[in-house]
Amino acid sequence: MGPFNKFHPVIAGLKETNMSNRVYIFDTTLRDGEQVPGCQLNTIEKIEVARQLEKLGVDVIEAGFPVSSPGDFNSVVEISKAVSNPTICALTRAVKKDIEVAADALQFAKRGRIHTGIGTSPYHIFNKLNSNPDAIIERAVEAVKYAKKFVEDVEFYAEDAGRSDNEYLARVIEAVIKAGATVVNIPDTTGYCLPSEYGEKIAYLVNHVPNIDKAIISTHCHNDLGMATANSLSGIMNGARQVEVTMNGIGERAGNTALEEVVMALRCHKDLEFDTGIDSKQIMRTSNLVSTLMRMPVQANKAIVGRNAFSHSSGIHQDGVLKNRENYEIIDPVEVGVKESSIVLTARSGRAALKHRMTVLGYQYEPSELDNIYNRFLDLADKKKDITDEDLEILIGSEKQAGKKPLQLVSLQVVSGKSTIPTATVQVSFNGDIFTETAAGNGPIDAAFTAVKALVKRRVRLEEFLIQAITRGSDDLGKVHVKIEHKGQLYYGFAAHTDIVTASVEAFLDALSKIE
């Protein structure tokens, strides 16, 4: 037992067989997870997920609810054939037909488990099943005994145990263990419980069910109040040794307990002395596979597997993490299969992050030069959401050029739109003197180029003009390449800016600056 448990008043009386520190991972991505609208998978996709779950090291794969459809039946059959290490589990109601069909679907499983059960809360007993507490116990016992005729490993779920009376729940659990249940699942079906409440429920069963040592207690917590992981951990700390989880926390309504969260919480809190058989380095790959096949994006700030889980975007954090990763990271990203943490450059980044990124890209700067780039970086970052390596390379390139070009754009004002005559007023500095010109054109860029041509008084012909809106969003940098001809000679210009007219004029001036 971990030190927490040693001092836990309720757990002090925990029975010997429940004291192992191995927590079994029961993955229900393919059953509860797959209940989510739009997440249904075909058999081939389910096999792919099951094989990845096997690599991840889960102990049990709940492969489906075979009576629900021929497709689900077939998936349980095929997963049973495709996967050899984890136990394959099939869900049923406390209904004989469901159990028979589940047993049939599991016929090829090396280790098959039937997961049967019935509701035990007043809501379920009276409103859903139109029954009474004693009759429910009878049906529960009958279902477990019937399932035992087909498989040795029978798990019983007391649906809505979270809102069930503890004393009654203890009677149900004692009866189903007596009937042969090897695992007793205490679901917080509606995600109602507080962590202390759920933990006390498990502890109550540990201390009041005389034959509890004959079965493993399982948690199955939903996330309606965002407490699924906390409740599952509280269950473990009070005697549960199996947790029912899904990858990325997908599942009915607000979802189930996320596998990655429980596994990594236990790994981070080694003092609790609990562990699972999960190969955590497979977590990210499994998460991506499930998200892709189920067409269910993972929220960016999702713990462990979200895009931002290992990315640092504010200056103080970035500085801290660059000094020592552990200043702001409790998990080494490599441990969950993420290559490295990332530093995202934004307007909230400081010099430390900028300098780091420039060094990674191979640029070295004196502190005074860094200040200039940092100021330009902030200007750009205020216009864009984040600054990519490509943005930075352009920024550094233009910073190196700044001041060296004889022709510099000082200001640009354009009028354009539908039913207006596109007009541009351009101010250019030429070796320190400022010149202004206004011109009209067939569009804002044409107008600006005409104004520039009038200013520089050179006969140039535009040979090529290419605008690329790079990378992701409408707020991104536009890159402009121009090729001009002057007296038979070609000159090239380049510029990038969030304003494409500005980028175009700067690229034009860049090319013009090269004419001797």
Contact 84, 50 (CB under 8 A): no
Mask 221-260, x = binds ligand ACO (CB under 6 A)? -------------------------------x--------
Handedness of CA 45, 49, 52, 54 (dihedral sign): negative
Q: How far is 295 from 371, CA to CA, in rounded Å?
A: 44
Based on the shown chain and the rule CB under 6 A, indicate whether residue 159 belongs to the binding site for ligand KIV: yes
Based on the shown chain and the rule CB under 6 A, indicate whether residue 67 belongs to the binding site for ligand ACO: yes
481 is an annotated ligand-binding site residue: no
185 is in the binding site of which of ligand KIV, ligand ACO, none (Cβ under 5 to 8 A by kind)?
A: ligand KIV
Based on the shown chain and the rule CB under 6 A, indicate whether residue 95 belongs to the binding site for ligand ACO: yes
Based on the shown chain and the rule CB under 6 A, indicate whether residue 187 belongs to the binding site for ligand KIV: yes
Of 206-265, binders to ligand KIV (CB under 6 A) are: 220, 222
59 is an annotated ligand-binding site residue: no
Contact 198, 188 (CB under 8 A): yes
118 is in the binding site of which of ligand KIV, ligand ACO, none (Cβ under 5 to 8 A by kind)?
A: ligand ACO
Strand stretches in 168-293, DSSP E: 183-188, 216-221, 242-245
Q: How far is 301 from 310, CA to CA, in rounded Å?
A: 9
Q: How far is 76 from 64, CA to CA, in rounded Å?
A: 6
Contact 86, 54 (CB under 8 A): yes
Of 271-330, binders to ligand ACO (CB under 6 A) are: none
221 is in the binding site of which of ligand KIV, ligand ACO, none (Cβ under 5 to 8 A by kind)?
A: none
End-to-end Cα spacing for the chain: 81
* Site size with ligand ACO, rule: CB under 6 A: 15
Q: How far is 235 from 274, CA to CA, in rounded Å?
A: 12
Of 65-73, 296-304, 438-446, 502-510, the segment contacting ligand ACO by CB under 6 A is: 65-73
Among 157, 168, 192, 491, binds ligand KIV (CB under 6 A): 157
Residue 79 is encoded by which pair of tokens? 């997963």
| Cβ at position 148, least distance to ligand KIV in Å | 19
446 is an annotated ligand-binding site residue: no
Among 46, 93, 201, 405, binds ligand ACO (CB under 6 A): 93
Mask 64-93, x = binds ligand KIV (CB under 6 A)? ---------------------------x--
Of 134-142, 185-193, 306-314, 407-415, the segment contacting ligand KIV by CB under 6 A is: 185-193
Sequence-distant (6+) residues with CB within 8 A of 439 are: 423, 424, 426, 447, 448, 450, 451, 454
Mask 386-405, x = binds ligand ACO (CB under 6 A)? --------------------
| Cβ at position 68, least distance to ligand ACO in Å | 3
| Cβ at position 67, least distance to ligand ACO in Å | 5
Sequence-distant (6+) residues with CB within 8 A of 138 are: none
Residue 344 is encoded by which pair of tokens? 């995202």
68 is in the binding site of which of ligand KIV, ligand ACO, none (Cβ under 5 to 8 A by kind)?
A: ligand ACO
Of 90-98, 146-154, 395-403, 484-492, the segment contacting ligand ACO by CB under 6 A is: 90-98
Among 27, 32, 260, 261, binds ligand KIV (CB under 6 A): 32
Contact 495, 408 (CB under 8 A): no
Query: Which residue in the shown chain puts its C-beta closest to ligand KIV?
Result: 187
Q: How far is 407 from 433, CA to CA, in rounded Å?
A: 10
Among 128, 149, 253, 385, binds ligand ACO (CB under 6 A): 128
Based on the shown chain and the rule CB under 6 A, indicate whether residue 26 belongs to the binding site for ligand KIV: no
For tokens 């049967």, name the residue.
Answer: 116
115 is an annotated ligand-binding site residue: no
Among 8, 10, 35, 425, binds ligand ACO (CB under 6 A): 35
- Four-CA torsion 311, 312, 313, 318, nearest 10 degrees: -150
Q: How far is 304 from 292, CA to CA, in rounded Å?
A: 17
**283-293 vs 43-56: helix axis angle to the nearest 10?**
170
Among 68, 85, 342, 425, binds ligand ACO (CB under 6 A): 68
* Residue 480 CA neighbour count, 13 Å, CB half: 22
Query: Which residue in the shown chain puts its C-beta closest to ligand ACO?
Result: 68
Q: What angle do CA 102, 105, 111 make, to 5 degrees?
A: 90
- Four-CA torsion 208, 209, 212, 213, nearest 10 degrees: 60
Length of the chain: 516
220 is in the binding site of which of ligand KIV, ligand ACO, none (Cβ under 5 to 8 A by kind)?
A: ligand KIV
Which residue from 136, 116, 126 is spatially nearest to 185, judged by alpha carbons? 116
Q: How far is 347 from 221, CA to CA, in rounded Å?
A: 40
Chain positions contacting ligand KIV, by CB under 6 A: 32, 91, 157, 159, 185, 187, 189, 220, 222
Annotated binding-site members = 32, 220, 222, 256
Known binding-site residues for Mn(2+) equal 32, 220, 222, 256
Q: Which residues bind ligand ACO (CB under 6 A)?
A: 32, 35, 65, 67-68, 93-95, 117-118, 128-129, 159, 189, 252
